[in-house]
């Protein structure tokens, strides 16, 4: 029998992260569901995984808290062994015009995405390089590619994720570790709940928001052997927005 593969999804309690957890569990991964504060939502994700016949566990940590992340990942790899797939999905938005943006909104958004990438990816990379396999997928945004007004912090963070992933992909390609980015458009989650639907639909050629599962399926594809020659890429999933 082949060894069960393990995947870590940051921000797996809700929205896109939850859909990614379910999709990867359906593909046979033991899924580590990370979250920061919403334990009840994370438990719901885990119950959904188990109800569908999959396996996994909760792993709470704040991706910006480097020492805690390092300790949690050490414990997880000590207990469970190799983590073959990492999905850097945790993210926050704090929109506002740049001229009025308080420093905490800049730092919170950039730190969650970019320090989160560093803090979680680095400890998991070494074993991937040693085993010569692994897949790292980070969730960027259409905002990184077009630079939406009112999102300088978010666009900077999400564009940084693309640069970091491309650079890392170049460093790890020969060792068989693939690093890719998914750039969603506007997806039906809590993050977009307050946006006016009519105006949003005018921006999207397909005239609807995306569903979290439509991102999750692309993430699962990028993790799979079907994507074995894909690395350093940004895959847009946005209903034709670009
Ligand atoms: P949600 O706001 O619905 O969920 C965010 C998730 O991130 C939650 O699980 C939350 O945990 C977790 N999270 C936030 N901060 C931290 C942190 N510091 N440490 C650990 N976990 C954290 O977001 P979406 O599902 O909409 O978005 C998921 C990703 O996709 C984000 O990176 C977002 O930027 C990106 N994206 C979303 C789009 C959209 O239209 N929705 C479009 C393009 C990109 P908790 O529940 O505990 O708070």
User: Can you list the positions of beta strands (E) in the chain?
Assistant: 6-9, 30-35, 55-60, 85-88, 134-139, 177-184, 234-237
**Residue 161 φ then ψ, to 5°:** -60, -35
Residues 94-106 as b or e (16 or more Cβ within 10 Å = b): bbeeeeebeeebb
**At the fourth CATH level, which superfamily is domain 5-237?**
NAD(P)-binding Rossmann-like Domain (3.40.50.720)
State the closest ligand 1 atom to the C-alpha of 38, by its place in the atom list counted from 1: 47
Q: In the structure, which protein residues have their CB atom closer than 6 angstroms to any atom of ligand 1? A: 10-11, 13-17, 34-38, 41, 62-64, 89-92, 112, 139, 141, 184, 186-187, 189-192
Name which of 83, 107, 104, 86 is nearest 17 in CA terms: 86
Instruction: Kindly state the average pLDDT of the residues 137-145.
Output: 98
Among protein residues, the one whose CA lies closest to atom 27 of ligand 1 = 16
Distance of alpha carbon 94 from alpha carbon 114, whole angstroms: 15
Tokens of 198: 């009519």
pLDDT for position 242? 82
Ligand 1 atom index nearest CA of 36: 47
CB atoms within 10 A of CB 175: 14
- pTM for this model (two decimals): 0.98
Distance from residue 130's CA to the centre of ligand 1 (Å): 30
Residue 3: pLDDT band with limits 50, 70, 90:
confident
Q: For residue 182, how far is its CA from the centre of ligand 1 (angstroms)?
A: 14
What are the sequence ranges of the domains in the chain?
5-237
| Distance of CA 93 from the midpoint of ligand 1 (Å) | 8
Nearest residue (CA) to ligand 1, atom 28: 16
Average pLDDT over residues 30-54: 98
Residue-wise pLDDT tens digits, 190-206: 999 988 888 888 999 99
pLDDT in tens, 101-127: 999 999 999 999 999 999 999 999 999
* Ligand 1 atom 33 nearest Cα: 91
| Centroid of ligand 1 to alpha carbon of 191 (angstroms) | 7
* Ligand 1 mean position, distance from CA 206 (Å): 23
Residue 215 has pLDDT above 60, yes or no: yes
Pairing state between β 55-60 and 85-88: unpaired
Which of 29, 30, 35, 154 is labelled catalytic? 154
Per-residue pLDDT, 2: 63
Active site residue 154: yes
């Amino acid at each position: 029998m082949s060894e069960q593969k393990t995947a870590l999804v940051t921000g797996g309690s809700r929205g896109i992260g939850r859909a990614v957890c379910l999709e990867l569990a359906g593909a046979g991964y033991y899924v580590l569901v990370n979250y920061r504060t919403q334990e009840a939502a994370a438990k719901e994700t885990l119950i959904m995984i188990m109800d569908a016949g999959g396996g996994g566990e909760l792993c709470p940590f704040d991706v910006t808290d480097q020492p805690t992340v390092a300790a949690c990942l050490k414990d997880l790899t000590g207990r469970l062994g190799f983590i073959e797939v990492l999905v850097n999905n945790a993210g926050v938005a704090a929109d506002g015009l740049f001229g009025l943006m308080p420093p905490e909104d800049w730092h919170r958004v950039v730190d969650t995405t970019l320090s989160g990438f560093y803090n979680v990816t680095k400890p998991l990379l070494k074993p991937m390089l040693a085993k010569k396999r692994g897949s790292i997928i980070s969730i960027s945004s259409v905002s990184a590619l077009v630079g939406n007004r009112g999102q300088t912090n978010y666009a900077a963070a999400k564009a940084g994720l693309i640069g970091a992933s491309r650079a890392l992909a170049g460093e790890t390609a020969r060792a068989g570790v693939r690093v890719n980015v998914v750039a969603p458009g506007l997806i039906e989650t809590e993050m977009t709940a307050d946006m006016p639907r009519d105006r949003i639909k005018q921006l999207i050629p397909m005239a609807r928001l995306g569903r979290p599962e439509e991102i999750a399926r692309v993430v699962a594809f990028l993790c799979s052997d079907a994507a074995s020659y894909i690395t350093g890429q940004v895959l847009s999933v946005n209903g034709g927005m670009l």
